[in-house]
Amino acid sequence: MDVESQLSTGEDPRNPANAFAKGAFAAAGRRPVVLQVLPALVTGGAERGCIDVALALAQAGALPLVASEGGPMAAELDRAGIRHITLPLASKNPLVIRRNARKLEAIIRENGVDIVHARSRAPAWSAWLACQKTGARYMTTFHAPYNYKNGLKRWYNSVMARGERIIAISGFIRRHILENYAVDPAVIRTIHRGIDPLSFAPERVSSARMIQLAQKWRLPDDKPVILLPGRLTRWKGQTVLIDALAKLGRKDVCALLVGSDQGRTGYRQELEEQVRRAGLEGVVTMTDHCNDMAAAYRLSTVVVSASQEPEAFGRVIVEAQAMGRPVIVSAIGAYQETVIPGETAWVVPPADPDALAKALDEALSLTTEQRDAIGARARAFVAERYTKQRMCADTLAVYAELLAEPKHAAKGR
């Protein structure tokens, strides 16, 4: 099998962690069983990571299991022959959490589960309770800061900090864990989320895909495109971008706000009114969810994230860089570690339209040679650090590490 084919199935032959995991699993003397639990398999980073890791586990010789309420993404597991167990794991009802714990306990015993990997709080409580009963190893991934305003919420969140191993999806999340929970730093492993380098590769996006999307969005051929992807919610900073565009004062650009309002019709109307007041009706366009983001990035001139609250990772900006696009990001959360300021990105203060307008002006003024140089640096940066192959290999290495550790010596129990 060639390298490209191996990459497409989730195995990177250039990453020694895969070989390490296979060797460690073989040394266990039997096929290790890893159960991942999460609320549902509808959409999102936790869901994508769960499926990618399940596929990598199967490839490395382990037996992966996934438990959730189900959803469209479960079909990917079915196609790969990976068992999905349907349980009401999204429920925060204490009685349901207890019932789920008993069901997980039975699943652990029946399948000889070695490790239970929880990816969200409600299912994590059920998983933790089941592991206490069975002796299965319990670990977690912090996919978000899980903020709290009172002691009860902090206690509810703390189940994510009880793992024998805790994966933080960014350095920002690692710092959040250490600042808010009594956790031994030695049990935390920082493993950034990863993207599929075959899906987000400029040379793989055909002209036909770009033309189809440009026609759907009615994009003009002669205007640079400013792209802000993200669901329509205030903290994503759409209002900041509109203010920045007003300050930029250019009508020869097209700004696309790409993302579903998810029922937030009031906020959509507010944005439409803001656009009207600023006289930007011919500049700003709002679209719904896009199913071909690789083509969207390819059509763009610059990609913006104007988030006003910290992002746990910031997948959009990594995807855009993989597509060779210059990016502008807020100096908040994990964005600061997923770009190279001044080389692949402009980093501006959050909620600062003036700074954003200045960065937009500079990005739109790049020559073709300057744009190509930024794109080359951005692609190399992402390929080295933020692929799903690296994420899977590093996660499998944590499983192997935990399996090799005697239970009585495990930390965090």
Banded pLDDT at 329 (limits 50, 70, 90): very high
Give the mean pLDDT of 129-153. 93
pLDDT(13) > 70 = no
- pLDDT band at residue 9, thresholds of 50, 70 and 90? very low
Q: Is the pLDDT of residue 21 over 80?
A: no
Instruction: Report the alpha-carbon angle 281-325-246, nearest 5.
Output: 25
Q: Among candidates 332, 361, 355, 7, which has minimal Cα distance to 170?
A: 332
Q: What percent of the chain has pLDDT over 70?
A: 92
* Residue 402: predicted pLDDT: 93
pLDDT digits (tens, 9 = 90+) for 179-198: 999 999 999 999 999 999 99
Rounded CA separation 412/163 (Å): 6
∠ Cα 241 193 101 (to 5°): 115
Mean residue pLDDT across the chain = 91
Give the 3-state DSSP-derived string for 46-95, with helices as H, strands as E and coil as C. Answer: HHHHHHHHHHHHHHCCCEEEEEECCCCCHHHHHHCCCEEEECCCCCCCHH
> Tokens 């507010």 appear where?
270
Under 8 Å CB-to-CB from 224, ≥6 apart: which residues?
252, 253, 254, 301, 302, 364
Work out the average pLDDT over 231-236.
91
The tens digit of pLDDT for each residue in 69-119 reads: 999 999 999 999 999 999 999 999 999 999 999 999 999 999 999 999 999
pLDDT, tens digit (0-9, with 9 covering 90-100), for 31-63: 899 999 999 998 888 999 999 999 999 999 999
Band (6; pLDDT cuts 50, 70, 90): very low
Nearest to 46 by CA among 169, 196, 130: 169
408 pLDDT tier (thresholds 50, 70, 90): low
How high is the pLDDT of residue 75?
Answer: 96
The CA-CA-CA angle for residues 134, 36, 15, to 5°, reads 120
The per-residue pLDDT for range 336-371, each reduced to its tens digit, is 789 999 999 999 999 999 999 999 999 999 999 999
Under a CB-based contact definition with an 8 Å cutoff, are residues 350 and 237 in contact?
Answer: yes
**Mean pLDDT along residues 306-323:** 93
The yes-or-no verdict on residue 30 having pLDDT over 80 is: no
Percent of the chain with pLDDT over 90: 81
What is the assigned CATH class of domain 3-194+387-409?
alpha beta
When pLDDT is cut at 50, 70 and 90, the band that residue 2 belongs to is: very low
Is the pLDDT confidence value at 410 over 60? no
Residue 201's pLDDT is what? 95
**Please, which residues have CB within 8 angstroms of residue 342's CB and are 6 or more apart in sequence?**
none
Q: Which residue has the tokens 């959490």?
A: 97
Q: Is 25 left (phi over 0), alpha (psi -120 to 50) or beta?
A: alpha
Query: Can you give the residue ranges of every domain in the chain?
Result: 3-194+387-409, 202-385
pLDDT of residue 336: 78
Per-residue model confidence as pLDDT tens digits over 385-404: 999 999 999 999 999 999 99
Note whether 3-194+387-409 and 202-385 share their fold.
yes
Residue the block writes with tokens 């001044």: 342
Residue 264's Cβ-count burial label (10 Å; 0-12, 13-18, 19+) is: middle
The answer as to CATH 3.30.56.10 being correct for domain 202-385 is no
Q: Pick the closest to residue 248 from 279, 222, 285, 269 (CA basis).
A: 279
CA–CA gap between residue 375 and residue 316 (Å, rounded): 15
- In a 10 Å sphere around its CB, with 0-12 CB exposed, 13-18 middle and 19+ buried, how is residue 1 labelled? exposed
Taking each continuous run of H as one helix and of E as one strand, the counts in the chain are 16, 13
Rounded to the nearest 5 degrees, what angle is found at the Cα of 198, between the Cα atoms of 195 and 200? 60
